[in-house]
Structure 1
Amino acid sequence: MKYYEINEETARRANDVNSMRDYRHGSATEEYRAAVDKAAALVQAQKSKISPYYHDKLDALLDRYSRRLADYYNAYYRNESACPSILVCGGSNFPVRKKQKQNARRESLWQEYKEIDAILDKIRSIGTGPVDLADPNAKDILSDQLERVQKSLERAKALNAYWRKHKTFVGFEGLAEETAQKMDADFADLQKRAPYISKPYPDYELTSLRSKAKRIQTRLDDLDKLQQSVPDLGMEFADGTIVRNTTANRLQIIFDDIPTADIRQALKNHGFRWSPRNQAWQRQLTKNAEYDAQKILNIS
């Protein structure tokens, strides 16, 4: 994590023209760093819950937040120091137009702050959507999801069968008696409100679980097809190597030397991005990616 510089002198001037209180040197930096520390804690918490595949993205978002928040603080203090408060300087010859400009800038800065704060929402959302097939851990994650859904489906069917036979959950294997009694009471209350529900897990809930399992299985099948479609081999060319990295699900171009500006631009135009970690230009592993790479590098 990197902190960016807060201009303490500007922060002091902003305080002096707007407040009768003395400015404590370093307080602006402390406030900024406390906000960044809070964002860093959020990133660490998110990392503990999601695949390592997304960790670099989280680090990049944290750095963006830290940098943009520092820019905001410095811009805010510059604007606040541009015109004094009428309570400090008095009403005589008060620069009204200057204060109007300052107020307008305050509004635009507030909009910028809301954009910066939205980065925290982005951090919270990373890794919470559908599993990215480019994630090297995708197969393990999807397999775990499928196993959990299948277990939920089997348990729901078993509870339905047990209820149909005994008209109670008490005695169901693995279910504490206190929990079973509460489930009995909850289901009885539900049947009073919805008499048409005849079993704990209605057909639509079982159908939903089956559909979810089917979707996950389809994604696993897609991943298997993707990994089998392109062998994990390298292709040499005059200035480097093209690597079909099925583990990372990336087509990687590793140059012996820095490619020309035209080549770099062509790679960007075709969706390739530079990966400092892998020291390669890469994009998701597909037949189109291989075709584009050969075209850009003039490989027949």
Structure 2
Amino acid sequence: MQAIQFINDIPTAVAVRAFQGTSFSPEKRAESYRFDYAETMASDYEDFKRHAEKGGTLDKLDDAFARYRSGYASRYCAWLSSHSRCISWMITGPSNFPTRRAQKWNTAAHNRMTEVIAYREQVKRSILRDLRPDLRPIMAGDANAIERLAVELAHLERNQLSMKMANAGIRKHAKEGAEAQTLALVELGFSPQQASELLNPPHYRVIGFPSYRLTNNGANIRRVRQRLEHLEKMHSLPVQEVQGEGVRVEVDPPANRVRLFFDGKPDAETRERLKSCGFRWTPSLEAWQAYINYRTQELARSFVKIAP
């Protein structure tokens, strides 16, 4: 996307007025900052688009970017309006220069720019989380947790096999020279550039994939496999409900949640106990809900008798 598409988000008059007290060429400064804004928008849009393509969320891109663009432009204009009160003695002259007021105005403008920077960083992180669901941590209660773990495990196993085959191919053709080794790696699916990097590592590394890469990847395979087995076992367990005096407890292993349904609003002391153990009020369910762990199950057992 071209930067010129965004430049009119910042009115020329607002930008020029921002530098009349601090520049001999406020028009040039204004155009420079308008163009900086436009380039930032174009760059951020391309970044969002790249992530949306990888995350399969292109349908969310335009709405997310429109909200981001509107919020950024309004804060950028607020900074320019604040900066319009700033003055320099080189422009106004040193005679009777209001030093304290100038410092106050400079501080105010600096604060507005800090808000612009903070907004961009915060909202970009939020948008990228929405555009890349594949990068979100896999939570046990996610509906697609087992599917995502299975995909991650398959990816790790492919990498492990690929690294082992690459190292074996390099060793097998060691006597034939680099050309034969490169050909062997290309036949395994590596690009010529990747093959060159494996055969010409930095001086402190051995040729091929180092042993620590295989060791670390193997440890990840075991970790993900164990977690996958645990989730599959949890998802096979039934939901357990127990009625106590004034409260019903629901333990939901497939969702990795324990829920407490009180007949009425619990007293302040009980609410503090719930919060301290990780329970949170969920209005959509009208229940206090938390992840299943030792502390939350122990608290649930204090209300009713639940089988471990």
> How high is the TM-score relative to the length of structure 1?
0.57
Pick aligned residue for 2:109 from 106, 109, 121? 106
- How far apart are 1:233 and its partner, in Å? 1.7
| 1:55-134 matches, cutoff 5 A | 76=79, 79=82, 95-120=98-123, 122-123=125-126, 124=128, 128=135, 131-134=138-141
8 Å Cα contact 1:169/1:181 also seen in 2: no
State the SS of the aligned residue for 2:254: coil
Query: Residues of 2 paired with 1:283 and 1:51: CA distance?
Result: 30
| Letter aligned with residue 187 of structure 2 | L
Aligned to 1:242: 249
- How far apart are 1:271 and its partner, in Å? 1.9
Query: Residues of 2 paired with 1:130 and 1:286: CA distance?
Result: 18
Over 3 Å counting, the alpha-carbon distance change for 1:293 and 1:51 in structure 2 is farther
Over 3 Å counting, the alpha-carbon distance change for 1:144 and 1:255 in structure 2 is same
Percent of counterpart pairs with the same letter? 23
Aligned residues: 269
Determine which structure has the larger helix proportion and give its number. Answer: 2
Query: Residues of 2 paired with 1:43 and 1:237: CA distance?
Result: 50
Aligned to 2:32: none
Over 3 Å counting, the alpha-carbon distance change for 1:243 and 1:214 in structure 2 is same
| 1:184-223 matches, cutoff 5 A | 189=200, 197=207, 200-223=208-231
8 Å Cα contact 2:261/2:286 also seen in 1: yes
- How far apart are 1:289 and its partner, in Å? 1.1
Unaligned runs of 5+ in 2: 1-13, 28-36, 175-179
Query: Residues of 1 paired with 2:272 and 2:71: CA distance?
Result: 27
- How far apart are 1:299 and its partner, in Å? 4.1
State the SS of the aligned residue for 2:288: strand
Query: Residues of 2 paired with 1:66 and 1:264: CA distance?
Result: 41
Query: Residues of 1 paired with 2:142 and 2:56: CA distance?
Result: 8
Query: Residues of 1 paired with 2:83 and 2:259: CA distance?
Result: 49
- How far apart are 1:93 and its partner, in Å? 6.9
Over 3 Å counting, the alpha-carbon distance change for 1:182 and 1:270 in structure 2 is closer
Stretch of structure 1 that moved more, 96-105 or 215-224: 215-224
Unaligned runs of 5+ in 1: 1-10, 22-31
- How far apart are 1:143 and its partner, in Å? 1.8
- How far apart are 1:239 and its partner, in Å? 5.3
Aligned to 1:175: 187
Query: Residues of 2 paired with 1:36 and 1:237: CA distance?
Result: 57
State the SS of the aligned residue for 1:247: helix
- How far apart are 1:161 and its partner, in Å? 3.7
1:227-258 Cα distance to aligned partner (Å, 9 max, x none): 67x7522233455643322232222334566x
State the SS of the aligned residue for 2:281: strand
- How far apart are 1:74 and its partner, in Å? 8.9
- How far apart are 1:137 and its partner, in Å? 2.5
Higher relative contact order (CA 8 A, sep 6+): 1
State the SS of the aligned residue for 2:223: helix
State the SS of the aligned residue for 2:290: strand
Query: Residues of 2 paired with 1:37 and 1:239: CA distance?
Result: 58
Stretch of structure 1 that moved more, 137-146 or 164-173: 164-173
Over 3 Å counting, the alpha-carbon distance change for 1:237 and 1:84 in structure 2 is farther
Aligned to 1:252: 259
RMSD: 5.6
Over 3 Å counting, the alpha-carbon distance change for 1:291 and 1:139 in structure 2 is same
> How high is the TM-score relative to the length of structure 2?
0.56
Over 3 Å counting, the alpha-carbon distance change for 1:268 and 1:196 in structure 2 is closer
8 Å Cα contact 1:136/1:249 also seen in 2: no
Are 2:174 and 1:158 aligned? Answer: no
State the SS of the aligned residue for 1:150: helix
| Letter aligned with residue 281 of structure 2 | W
